[in-house]
Amino acid sequence: MKKRRQFIQLMLRLFAGLVFLFNPIVTGARNVLAKAKMVVLPKETQPESLVNRHPANLDTRNLDLTSLEDFGTMGLSNHQVDLNTWQLIIGGHVQHPMELNFAQITQMLSIEKNVLLICPGVFAYHARWKGISVAKLLEMAKFSAGATHVTFSGPDGRYEKTERFPIEDIRSDKVFLAYGVNNTVLPRKHGFPLRVVAEGYYGNEWVKYVYKVTADKI
C-alpha cells in the first residue's frame, strides 16, 4: 500500500512538472530569458570579427548593413533558373498543394528583416532581406495542424540540398524565403530566385535556389 502511495505521488509530481514545463506563460518567460542572455553587438562591430560566433547568441540591432559587394558566397553559386518554367512547390502535409510562379510570389505581402549570416570561420555579413512569409504560404495551402517541421529543397536537380526547421520558427517568421537583399533583387550567386533566410542559424542551413517547401510531421 505504501509503495502504491509513493508511486501515485511520483506520478503527480511528474504531471505537475510537465504542466509547468509546457505552460505558455512559462514558455514565454523562458524565451524572454533566452533573449536576455544574447550579446548586444555595438554599432562599430566588424562582421569579420563574428565568424567564430554563433548567430543565435548575437543581438545585431545596432549593426550597419554590409555592402552587397562585400558578401561572401558558399556552396553552389552558378545555378541558372528559367523563370518561364520555374515554380515554387508547396506540399507535404497540406490540404491544398500549390505551385506558384515568381510573379505570384512577388505580388504577395512582403516582409523585410535585418539578419546576420555567418559561415563559421569563413565570413559573416549583416543584410536586409526581403521576401515572403512561409507561414502565410502554408496557411494558403491549409497545412495540417499536426505539422511539426518545414523542409526546404533547392535547387531542383543533382545538386539539391535540403534543410528542415521547426514549425515554431516558421510561424514567427524567424525562417522565411527571400527574393531580395539590400534593396535589390537577390543575385544569382546568392540563390535567386528564392533562398532561405534563417535567423539564428549558420549560413550553411540557408538553402539557395529553393523550389520546394514541404510541411512535415516528425
Which CATH number does the domain 65-216 belong to among 3.10.129.10, 1.10.10.60, 3.30.479.30, 3.90.420.10?
A: 3.90.420.10
Going from the C-alpha of 108 to that of each of 123, 133, 181, 212, the distances in angstroms are: 32, 9, 17, 17
- Please state, in angstroms and rounded to a whole number, the distance separating the CA atoms of residues 157 and 81: 11
Confidence of residue 123 (pLDDT cuts 50, 70, 90): very high
Average pLDDT over residues 51-65: 97
Give residue for cell 512547390. Answer: 89
Q: Assign residue 65 a region (left: φ > 0; alpha: ψ between -120 and 50; beta: otherwise).
A: beta
Q: What is the pTM of this model?
A: 0.83
pLDDT top residue among 34 and 65:
65
Each domain of the chain, given as residue ranges in start order, spans: 2-36, 65-216
Backbone angles phi, psi at 2, to 5 degrees: -60, -40
Task: Give me 71's grid cell.
Answer: 558578401
- Please state, in angstroms and rounded to a whole number, the distance separating the CA atoms of residues 91 and 150: 10
Q: Exposed/middle/buried for 138, CB within 10 Å: 0-12, 13-18, 19+?
A: buried
Question: What does the pLDDT look like over 66-80, one tens digit per residue?
Answer: 999 999 999 999 999
